[in-house]
Structure formats: structure tokens, C-alpha cells
Amino acid sequence: MNTDQVLILIAISAYITGTLSFLIYFLSRENWAKMAGIPFAFIGCVTQFVELFYRWQTSHIWPLTNLYGSLSLFAAMSVLIFIVFALRYDLWFMGGFVLALAAGFLAYALTWNEGYLPAVPALQSYWIKIHVPLVVSSYAAFMVAFVSSVLYLIKYYGERSIRGGGTPVRARAATGGGAQFDVGLSMQAAPERRPRPIIGGDSPNLESAAIAGNPLALWLATLPTLAKLDILTYRIVSIGLPLLTVGIITGAWWAKEAWGAYWQWDPKETAALFSWTIYALYMHLHTRNAWRGLRCAWLAAFGFITIIFCYLGVNIWISGLHSYKM
């Protein structure tokens, strides 16, 4: 087993162990599980970057010229973006899902690892060091946004199943009062004189069901409020969309240098434009009260499906100017 393979093995093992730790934390809210998962997320991410750098230095071939390299960077960047957001907004509860996806993508990347292949002429450009990392980073951000939007949907429909219909946050806001759960997720009543938050509270039905001991309600109450999850998704998409925009622009500039036209309606370009439109739509619609929340969560989840189609579907199944599998 060479150094390259050892590093990959360490990364995958770290992600799997981190996934288990974070899933335990997600389900039980045991702090030790979170504290155990965090180092594994760091180890996996750092090891992956080391592996890509090692690959570059030993072969003198830029590692992102094939699907293995880009998928590997995708997994590493998604974990890196997750860590940055988790440190800033305490998102460790999402760690199990992000690390599981990262491990899955990394394992899938291995199936495309054919060794060190020099780049084909079209890829022998400095643009590859700009365009590909930007685009792959945007995909990674959208993956993290996908996880938070799916958690939003889980919480939304969980709350609805307890309440039996309606819109939880609005209902809570409209009625006010009741005990509340901080985002820190301990069951504490708000101080008397403190302003009642919009985003800090769950629906009163969820709160009362949790107080009554409903296990689903108790567990749902440990998740951040719907409004908070919605804002988290928005903030992550706010990172991903500009990255994708710059990625498309640099790609167009590169295409102009390599092929003579900055836009050729190649399947990859078209699919990327479609995904960009979905996320641009998300950002526009998020400014509207009627769309913020549930509809935007569905849109962010759908957006990531289009990203997967753009990334893997086009590369693998559809031939075009971007068919760089090996």
C-alpha cells in the first residue's frame, strides 16, 4: 500500500468514525459524542488535502484533471465548509450527514482512481487551477446547504405530524408565549424581561408535546428552530452561489481561450446554468415572506439534485466537452 492509499484510508476511516460520533450526537445530544466527532472531521479533511497535495508533488500532475481528483476535492471542501460554518454557527448536529456524504463521495471517487494520468491538451492551462476548485467548492457548499435544508424539512414535517397541520413558526409567532427552547437546545424558560425571539422558539405545540414527554417532540426540540435552519441554509447558499458564478465566468473565459467561444451550450455548461438559475431563484425568493422557509428548503434540496446531475450525470453519462472521467 503506497502513501497515497494510506492517506485515503485514513481520511475515509476518519469520516466514518466521525459520522458515527456525530449521528450519536444528533440522536442523543450527548456532548461527548460531538467532542469525539470534531477531531475526526478535522483529521479526515486535513488528510484529504494532504493526499491531494502529495499526489500533485509526487506526480507533478495537477490532481484535479480527472473525476477522482475533483470528487476527492469535493468531499474535502464539503467537510471544510461544514467545519467553518459549524465553528461559526454551532452546526455540529449536521456533522453525521455531511461526513457520511463526504465518505460516500470519497469512496465513489476511488472507483475512478486510475493512477496518475497527465492532463489532455485542453486541460493544460492555468485556468484549471482556478476554475475547477471554484466550481467544486460551490458544489461542496451546496451539499452542506442540502443537508441543512433536509433537516429543515425533517423538522417541519415532524412538527406538523405532532400538530396535525399548519405552519409551525408562524403559529408560534402568532400566539406567542409558552416555554421555549434555545438554539443551545436545553429546555429553559426565557427570562421574564428578555425580548421574545422570532427565531429562537419552536411552535407551542411542539413545546407542549415535548414537555408532555413525546419522544419525537423532545428530539425535534433539540434541533435549531425552523427559522434558524432556514437562515443557515441561506447563509451557506450565499457562499455557494457566488463561487458557482465565478466558476462559470472563469470557465467561460477558459473556454474562450481553449475553444474559441465562451459559451457553446455544452451539456455541462447548460446544466451548470440551470443549477445557477435554481440557486439564483432561491436567493430571490428568499426575500419573499411567502417563500422563505418550507418552499425555499425544497428549492435548496432540488438545487442540489441538479448539481449532482450537472457534476456526475453530465460527466459520466453524457458525452461533451467536459467528459473528463479519467
Partner 1 sequence: MATRVRESVDEVLGQLSNFWFGMSLLAVWGVMTLIGVVVDQGKDASFYQTNYMPALARLVLRLHLDNIYHSAAYLGIIGLILACMTLATFWRVIPARLPPLRGVKIAAIPLNASVEIAGDEATVRSRVEQFFAGRGWLVRKREQGGVEWTFADKFNWARKGVLIAHVGFVLIAAGTTLYWAFGYSGQTAILAGSTVTIPENGTRFTLDRFRYRIDPIQTKSGTVYQPIDYVSDVHVAAKNGPLETRVLRVNHPLDVGDTLYYQASYGFAVPFTLTKNGRPLPNVPSAPLREGEGFAVGDTSRSIQYARFVGTIGPGNTIGADPRPNDPGVILNVFDGGQAIGQVLVPLERGVDLGDGYHVEAGRYVLYSGIQYRHDPGIPLVGLGAFVLLTGLCICFYLLPARLFVRLDPAPREAGREAWTVGIAATTVKGYEIFEEQFHALVEALRESEPRSESVAGSTRPVAAAT
Question: Which residue ranges make up the site for partner 1 (CB under 8 A)?
Answer: 113-115, 117-118, 120-122, 124-125, 127, 169-170, 173-176, 193-200, 227-228, 230-231, 234, 238, 241-242, 245-246, 249, 252-253, 256-262, 265, 267, 270-271, 273-274, 277, 281, 283, 286-287, 289-290, 292, 314, 318, 326
Q: How far is the CB of 144 from partner 1 (least distance, A)?
A: 16
| Spatial distance between the Cα atoms of 294 and 48, rounded to a whole number of angstroms | 35
CA quadruple 118, 129, 114, 10: dihedral sign: positive
Return the residue matching grid coordinates 485542453.
122
Do strands 187-188 and 180-181 pair parallel, antiparallel, or not at all (unpaired)?
antiparallel
Minimum CB distance to partner 1 smaller for 37 or for 69:
69
Q: How far is the CB of 114 from partner 1 (least distance, A)?
A: 4
| Spatial distance between the Cα atoms of 283 and 285, rounded to a whole number of angstroms | 6
Minimum CB distance to partner 1 smaller for 49 or for 253:
253
Measuring CA to CA, which residue among 69, 70, 26, 21 is closest to residue 41?
Answer: 21
Q: How far is the CB of 103 from partner 1 (least distance, A)?
A: 21
Minimum CB distance to partner 1 smaller for 13 or for 264:
264
Minimum CB distance to partner 1 smaller for 176 or for 215:
176
Q: How far is the CB of 264 from partner 1 (least distance, A)?
A: 9
| Spatial distance between the Cα atoms of 216 and 19, rounded to a whole number of angstroms | 22
| Spatial distance between the Cα atoms of 318 and 320, rounded to a whole number of angstroms | 6
Question: What's the angle, vertex CA 100, arms to CA 154 and CA 93, rounded to 5?
Answer: 50
Q: How far is the CB of 9 from partner 1 (least distance, A)?
A: 16
In the chain, alpha helices (H): 3-28, 31-59, 67-89, 95-110, 128-163, 168-175, 204-211, 215-221, 226-259, 267-285, 294-308, 314-317
Q: How far is the CB of 322 from partner 1 (least distance, A)?
A: 12
Minimum CB distance to partner 1 smaller for 29 or for 292:
292
Minimum CB distance to partner 1 smaller for 34 or for 228:
228
